[in-house]
Each structure stands twice: as C-alpha cells, then as structure tokens.
Amino acid sequence: MSIFVKNIDELLLEQSRYVVQTLGYYSVNDGGHSLFYYDENSTEPMDYGSCFTHVSGRGRWRMIPCSDYVSVRQFGCHGKYDCHKDIQRLFDYCSENNLIASGYGDLKLSGTVYSSCDMQMDRCKFIYPIGYRGYGLVVSPEKSVHGVSSRLRSKTINLPEVILKKDQRGWLPGSRGISLINLYHCTVKNNYVEGWDFGLRFWGQGGNGCVYNNVDTGYIQNNKANLHLYCSDMGWCNQNTFIGGTVGHYSGEVLEANQRVNGTKNIFLHDDSSYGGPNNNIFLNTSLEGFVDEFAVYSNGCSHNRFYNNRWEDGGVEGKTVWFSGKYSTKNVIAGGYHSEKLDMVESSGASGNRIEI
C-alpha cells in the first residue's frame, strides 16, 4: 500500500508505516519528489534528504531510489538559500550508495563541498559570494584537500558551473574553483569556471596521481590561473588528454590598452614535488584566448607535454608567451594551430629541448 503526501513537512507528520510518495520537497512538482519506506529499526541521523525521523520517534523514513540518479532537489536544495550543506549530504549519500548526483538550477554556496561519486551536474550552477577565499568543489577519494593518498577510479564526472562573484579587479589568494585529486581512468566533462585564483585544477598528491583521464575541457574563463595541472607531496599528474574547449582571459583586469596582467596563466603546469612534474599530457584543439594572460602556457619543471592544433588567439595584443622553466622542463612541443607563429617561447633555469612547430 502506498500513500501520497504533498511534501516533506507532511511526511514528517505521517503516522502510517507504509510506503510513502512525496510529490515535492517544499511543494508539489518542485523537483524534490521521493519514495520512502518505514524502517522501524533504523536509528540513523536525519540527513534531510534520504532519511527522516518518524513522527512516533521510533524508526526512520528511508529513501527508495527510483533510478541511479538522485537530485539536489531531493535534498532540499532549490537555490533560495545557502545550500552547500545540502549538497554535501547529497554527495555523501551518492558516494555511499554508488548512485549518481544530479540536479539543476542556480545554487548558492558558502563552503567547500567534497564528492567521490559519479556526477551529472552540468545543469547546476554553484555560485560563491564576493570575498570567498576557500575551495569550491573538490572531487577526491577522501574528504580533504591535503594528505590524500588513495585513488578515485573509473568515475564519470559531469561538473557544474562553479563561479566566484567579483566586484573588483584582481583575484583573492586562496580561492580555488574546482580541484580534482588523484583521479584514475575517469571521464570528466567540465562546464564553466570563472573568478578564482585557480580555476580548474588536476592535482596529484600523497604518492599518488591524477592520471589516465579523458577531459572535455569546457569553458574556463577569467581565473588568474585557468587550467592548473599540479603535483605535490610526491604526487604526479600524467597521461591525461584534454580535448577542445576554451581557456581564456577576457575580463576587466586590464587598466590600459595593450597591457597584460602579471601572473595570469591560461595553462599552468606546476611541479611542487621534485618528481618530474606533470608530463606526457595532451591538449588537443583547445582555444587558448585572451588579451589579459601574461602566459599562454607556463611550465615549471614539466616535460613531454603536447599541444596539438590549439588556437593561440591574442585578442589583438601582441606578445603571447609560452614559458618553460627548470631543468626538468624539457621536450614539450607546441604543434601548430592558429597564430602559433606569433608565440614567444622562453626557456629559463635549465629548461631545454622545448619547441614550437608552426
């Protein structure tokens, strides 16, 4: 026997012990409808999405997933208020039950959220407030940004838009948009990232790595470092393939015409582990654009990376630079692409053997 109730408030008043279908979370047809059963022996804490206390005080209403997908709206996240805790509970539930986190809408967040589940979040927009200095979305096998030593394997990760609002020039130190840590053999579809000190970061750490991933680059715009491949704590970031997309700097950062902003990078290959750095990654048919970025590519100790048929759009401002630094920064190749003949290549601090093939 099934009972229908309008929303979660009515579920919390329901005295029956049958299967109950809610028609929404707050109101009918708001996208938060779910199916619940009564578990008389459960003492699990409420998570305001998959588990609610029965009105009798004994037992719990437990969600019955009707498909492999669970929506942010089933956890009460409708964009009306700060919902980073709701999103975290969704990610925890999906990670524990091998389900796919999904949803849609413009969602306000004020804290870091961690995910280790499959994601179909490309219709969601995560919006962080002016002045936020922390991490945004972290995809990691552990609920941490440091000391991660395990791997997250074979996930399909369709990312949301992740935006940090700005009201002035410059970027807030410490702000990180999306960090993907120690991913192995994953398929990643980026959506849109803007406004952060570091936009989209692939990060190998803890004696492990971010490797063998296929990435739809998507749109990464107006972050101080747009796309960041990073190795720390004896980690590595190798053998990833980035396909298509736009990585660009078109913003209000420029005070005068024909001026580039110090420290801005479209692609930043960064070794901080003395372990050979990000190497053997491929960037295929990506448009690297803008009149703000000081460096189209900046490599610090990284080797054997390949850039094929990328578009090196300069926005009419001459002097787009690719910079290779450090003795391990060797044998990186830029193979053609629109305006590749206009690139200025610099090798410093022992870098050698890098080349541009027009």
The pLDDT tens digits of the residues spanning 110-129 come to 999 999 999 999 999 999 99
| CA neighbor of 355 nearest in space, from 319, 312, 320, 306 | 306
pLDDT of residue 220: 98
Residue 79's pLDDT band, with cuts at 50, 70 and 90, is: confident
- What the block records as the tokens of 57 is 């005080």
Using a 10 angstrom Cβ sphere, with 0-12 exposed, 13-18 middle and 19 or more buried, the burial of residue 170 is: exposed
Give yes or no for residue 197 having a pLDDT over 70: yes
- What the block records as the tokens of 323 is 């910079």
Per-residue CA distances from 53 to 18, 46, 163, 219 (Å): 14, 6, 35, 43
Q: Check: CB of residue 275 under 8 Å from CB of residue 234.
A: yes
Give yes or no for residue 318 having a pLDDT over 80: no
Q: Check: CB of residue 73 under 8 Å from CB of residue 27.
A: no
Contacts of 258 (CB under 8 A, 6+ apart): 317, 318
pLDDT of residue 168: 86
Q: What is the DSSP string of 144-196?
A: -SSS--S-EES-EEEPPEEEE--SSSS--TT-EEEEEESEES-EEE--EEES-
- For the residues 77-85, what does the mean pLDDT come to? 91
Residue 274's pLDDT band, with cuts at 50, 70 and 90, is: low
- What the block records as the tokens of 84 is 């980073």
Query: What residues pair up with 323 in beta bridges, in sequence order?
Result: 298, 346
CA geometry: angle at 276 spanning 274 and 278, to 5°?
115
DSSP annotation of 292: S
Query: What residues pair up with 127 in beta bridges, in sequence order?
Result: 108, 163
Task: Report domain extents, the chain.
Answer: 109-357
Only one residue has tokens 């026997």, namely 1
Residue 174's pLDDT band, with cuts at 50, 70 and 90, is: very high
For 206-279, strand residue ranges (E) read 214-216, 219-221, 225-232, 241-243, 246-249, 261-272
- pTM for the full predicted model: 0.95
Count of CA atoms in the C-beta half-sphere (13 A) of 159: 30
CA geometry: angle at 211 spanning 210 and 215, to 5°?
95
Strand pairing of 60-63 and 51-53?
A: antiparallel
The pLDDT tens digits of the residues spanning 54-73 come to 888 889 999 999 999 999 99
Q: Which residues of 336-346 are buried (b: 16+ CB within 10 A; e: fewer)?
A: ebeebeebeee
CA geometry: angle at 87 spanning 86 and 88, to 5°?
90
| CA neighbor of 184 nearest in space, from 206, 209, 215 | 209
| CA neighbor of 290 nearest in space, from 180, 156, 151, 194 | 194
Q: Give the whole-angstrom CA distance, residue 213 versus residue 281.
A: 10
Q: Give the whole-angstrom CA distance, residue 153 versus residue 192.
A: 23
**Helix or strand holding residue 63 (H, E):** strand 60-63
Query: Looking at 13-22, 146-155, 267-276, 302-311, which range is the least confident one?
Result: 267-276
Residue 53's CB: how many other CB atoms inside 10 A?
A: 16
CA dihedral 202, 208, 214, 218 (to 10 degrees): -10
